Chain A
């Protein structure tokens, strides 16, 4: 296992300068990723999870701009890439697949054509015939039967799940070290989602590439991810291994999410405990912890100052004054014993 960190994001800040004002979409997030790790970024709409992924690949469109922080990939400063460097970086070292496969494939080119183009953009020396062969291999890898025949077909002849597989093939064709998947299964049926997740797990175990998996679905995160970052209102509120997040959540938002989700394997009726309130208006984010107005355990301090990260052990950290209080007093006010009960299974 390579010790060097693959991706390091430090205090990344992204804002959108709209006519209505500055929307601080991402307010300073820090995380890192090693080779072969699958990290899940969980958040709702408006949490900034997609925006920060776009900024890694320089895909932000105005009025969005990176206004602070750094992104380092294999030691290089990605934000400082010029146009040329960025073009050779995208699709090659780091690939991205998107939520809606319907709109991400060009309808006037055959699938094979698009795959070949993806490959030859980064590898000028390879001939069309060789590129074609590699494309066929990729289609086989992602589980599309009759790849030679399907190469010549157009995107509209593929179903949703198939198109997503084609997208994955396109993303993987240059053997990237990192794949960013932005809600890749959200638009798919649940059985197709299961197929795609199995596929991704399978490919990852073969190629050992790292994956950043952006989603709002905690079930998917539980299934595929090694580490998890929970984002709320443009900030990472909790980070840790998947077991830490699910079995000992350190942030009230994470806890709230877990308690408000019904489980398909529950044995009896349990009333859901929702998170009250509505998501934050990013145009005027409040002072202090963005989750405070909705938090059951909100303290006066939470409304005034943004809490710092507290290390909870083993790379698990949460930004919450309650955890700070605990560390200071040695007292457990989180009621995590409750959550332990709710999540334990027979």
Chain B
């Protein structure tokens, strides 16, 4: 059985059974045994479908209805923000003197004339509470959807097709719906970019700190704790206000450089936000990654890599970080709503995006002026913002559950 020929055919530790000697024992014709060998071979290696980690996670995620709904909402918001403006012929910064302060509903020209008359009559009769709406109600006139200015209505009467201002316009005559779309786009982009900055800095810092261990780790974590203890919003406010003149100066004196062009596009305030994120917001990510790395460091495959002679950098890059990917994805996803919130908050305070760029926060801020008469101008961006943040959070939660290795198997 152990002849040289045999050894050649069945190398050391071969898993395939020795079919030839099997034949010697049996009363069955070799041809009939064909079946057995094929079957045996099939049974040897697990023929179960290879389920990759992501496919498995996706399957779990699909079962989570809340997360799937949140994902759907996010998808819609994405379409809304990026594809929406193509359907509306108004630019977000297109002002119009005549189409200012339109509501999301309108009255036809005849109705308007009637209401005017009635209002005159009421005024001369001494009634103080006569508003356009109440008069319209008295007269039994109902509002029609979408906002049109008088000039636009005249143009429609003349036969022209005019796209409506679905949500009306603001003080300067800019279409609100388009501005909401652009604002959402701005919030999302800032959110994602800020989250990516956090990811890059935080994951690297945390991985290095966790892997290095010892004194290096202690020092690095003290720095993190220090940063943690600083109130972030104050720092951001400080940064934004103090960086503005510096950046403006830079733009003035070096307008040709690529950086200048970049800054000119995004605005000094947004740059400050990114800088603030880069300085402060990565700490929670670094803590999480460090925690993961500390755990993973103990795994035997890390020891095995060391035994092979792998350098620390290689181990971090190819073993530790890939195995943290679940945490990385989830934390990044949950970082996005914080970034969006921060940006909105700053814009609300007037320290965010500069005109004519708009964001949901600055729209809300603008809306404060006419809050009693044009309440919806505050509600719309606020609702969109809330829905966006909520969806990101819910989806991130669902993602965390789906990627949790403990639930695996």
What chain A residues lie within 8 Å of B15 (beta carbons)?
Answer: 276-278
Q: Is the CB of A281 within 8 A of B46?
A: yes
Q: Which of A276, A278, A281 contacts B48 (CB 8 A)?
A: A281
Measured in the bound complex, the distance between the Cα atoms of B46 and A283 in whole Å is 10
Query: Nearest A residue to B35 by beta-carbon distance?
Result: A303
What chain A residues lie within 8 Å of B253 (beta carbons)?
Answer: none
Q: Which of A276, A280, A299 contacts B17 (CB 8 A)?
A: A276
> Would you give the shortest CB distance from A64 to chain B, in whole angstroms?
15
> Would you give the shortest CB distance from B7 to chain A, in whole angstroms?
14
Q: Is the CB of A294 within 8 A of B17?
A: yes
B5 contacts the other chain (CB 8 A): no
Query: Nearest A residue to B37 by beta-carbon distance?
Result: A293
Q: Is the CB of B25 within 8 A of A297?
A: yes
Q: Which of A20, A281, A333 contacts B43 (CB 8 A)?
A: A281
What chain B residues lie within 8 Å of A300 (beta carbons)?
Answer: 26, 28, 32-33, 35-36
- Please judge, given known A-B contacts A276-B15, A276-B17, whether A283 and B33 are in contact too, CB under 8 Å: no
Measured in the bound complex, the distance between the Cα atoms of B36 and A277 in whole Å is 13
- Please judge, given known A-B contacts A281-B43, A286-B43, whether A299 and B48 are in contact too, CB under 8 Å: no
What chain A residues lie within 8 Å of B44 (beta carbons)?
Answer: 277-278, 293
A296 contacts the other chain (CB 8 A): yes
Interface centre among B27, B35, B40 (most CB of A within 10 A): B40
Measured in the bound complex, the distance between the Cα atoms of B130 and A79 in whole Å is 82
Query: Nearest A residue to B45 by beta-carbon distance?
Result: A278
Q: Is the CB of B27 within 8 A of A293?
A: no
Measured in the bound complex, the distance between the Cα atoms of B43 and A283 in whole Å is 11
> Would you give the shortest CB distance from B146 to chain A, in whole angstroms?
51
B22 contacts the other chain (CB 8 A): yes
Measured in the bound complex, the distance between the Cα atoms of B40 and A48 in whole Å is 22
Q: Kindly identify, within residues 273 to 293 of chain A, every residue whose CB is under 8 Å from any CB belonging to chain B.
A: 276-278, 280-281, 283, 286, 292-293
> Would you give the shortest CB distance from B96 to chain A, in whole angstroms?
60
- Please judge, given known A-B contacts A281-B46, A299-B26, whether A293 and B17 are in contact too, CB under 8 Å: yes
A324 contacts the other chain (CB 8 A): no
- The digit string for B11-37, where 1 denotes a CB below 8 A from any CB of A, is 000011110011001111000110110
Interface residue total, chain A, C-beta cutoff 8 A: 18
Measured in the bound complex, the distance between the Cα atoms of B117 and A309 in whole Å is 106
What chain A residues lie within 8 Å of B46 (beta carbons)?
Answer: 281
B39 contacts the other chain (CB 8 A): yes
A298 contacts the other chain (CB 8 A): yes
Q: Which of A20, A280, A283, A298 contacts B22 (CB 8 A)?
A: A298
Query: Nearest B residue to A297 by beta-carbon distance?
Result: B25
Q: Kindly identify, within residues 30 to 88 of chain B, every residue whose CB is under 8 Å from any CB belonging to chain A.
A: 32-33, 35-36, 39-40, 43-48
- Please judge, given known A-B contacts A276-B15, A277-B15, A277-B17, whether A299 and B28 are in contact too, CB under 8 Å: yes
Measured in the bound complex, the distance between the Cα atoms of B37 and A276 in whole Å is 13
Query: Nearest B residue to A322 by beta-carbon distance?
Result: B25
What chain B residues lie within 8 Å of A299 (beta carbons)?
Answer: 26-28
What chain A residues lie within 8 Å of B22 (beta carbons)?
Answer: 296-298
Measured in the bound complex, the distance between the Cα atoms of B36 and A296 in whole Å is 12
What chain B residues lie within 8 Å of A297 (beta carbons)?
Answer: 22, 25-26
Measured in the bound complex, the distance between the Cα atoms of B15 and A300 in whole Å is 20
> Would you give the shortest CB distance from B391 to chain A, in whole angstroms?
28
- Please judge, given known A-B contacts A296-B25, A300-B28, whether A280 and B43 are in contact too, CB under 8 Å: yes
Q: Kindly identify, within residues 3 to 40 of chain A, every residue whose CB is under 8 Å from any CB belonging to chain B.
A: 20
Measured in the bound complex, the distance between the Cα atoms of B24 and A333 in whole Å is 12
> Would you give the shortest CB distance from B42 to chain A, in whole angstroms?
9
> Would you give the shortest CB distance from B35 to chain A, in whole angstroms?
7
- Please judge, given known A-B contacts A296-B25, A298-B22, A299-B26, whether A286 and B36 are in contact too, CB under 8 Å: no
> Would you give the shortest CB distance from B17 to chain A, in whole angstroms?
5
- Please judge, given known A-B contacts A283-B48, A300-B33, whether A277 and B28 are in contact too, CB under 8 Å: no
Measured in the bound complex, the distance between the Cα atoms of B38 and A293 in whole Å is 10
Q: Which of A20, A283, A293 contacts B39 (CB 8 A)?
A: A293
Measured in the bound complex, the distance between the Cα atoms of B27 and A303 in whole Å is 14
Measured in the bound complex, the distance between the Cα atoms of B45 and A296 in whole Å is 19
Measured in the bound complex, the distance between the Cα atoms of B340 and A77 in whole Å is 65
What chain B residues lie within 8 Å of A292 (beta carbons)?
Answer: 36
Q: Is the CB of B40 within 8 A of A293?
A: yes
Query: Nearest B residue to A302 by beta-carbon distance?
Result: B36
What chain B residues lie within 8 Å of A333 (beta carbons)?
Answer: 25
Q: Is the CB of A277 within 8 A of B48?
A: no
Measured in the bound complex, the distance between the Cα atoms of B136 and A301 in whole Å is 94
> Would you give the shortest CB distance from B33 to chain A, in whole angstroms?
7
What chain B residues lie within 8 Å of A278 (beta carbons)?
Answer: 15, 43-45
Measured in the bound complex, the distance between the Cα atoms of B40 and A113 in whole Å is 54
Q: Is the CB of A20 within 8 A of B48?
A: yes
What chain B residues lie within 8 Å of A277 (beta carbons)?
Answer: 15, 17, 40, 43-44
> Would you give the shortest CB distance from B63 to chain A, in whole angstroms?
10
> Would you give the shortest CB distance from B173 to chain A, in whole angstroms?
59
Measured in the bound complex, the distance between the Cα atoms of B39 and A20 in whole Å is 22
Query: Nearest A residue to B27 by beta-carbon distance?
Result: A299
Q: Which residues of B contact A (CB under 8 A)?
A: 15-18, 21-22, 25-28, 32-33, 35-36, 39-40, 43-48
- List 11 A-B pairs, Cβ < 8 Å: A276-B15, A276-B16, A281-B43, A281-B46, A286-B43, A292-B36, A293-B39, A293-B40, A294-B17, A297-B22, A297-B26
Q: Across chains A and B, which 6 residue pairs bring their CB atoms closest together, nearest first?
A: A293-B40, A300-B28, A276-B17, A293-B43, A297-B25, A300-B32
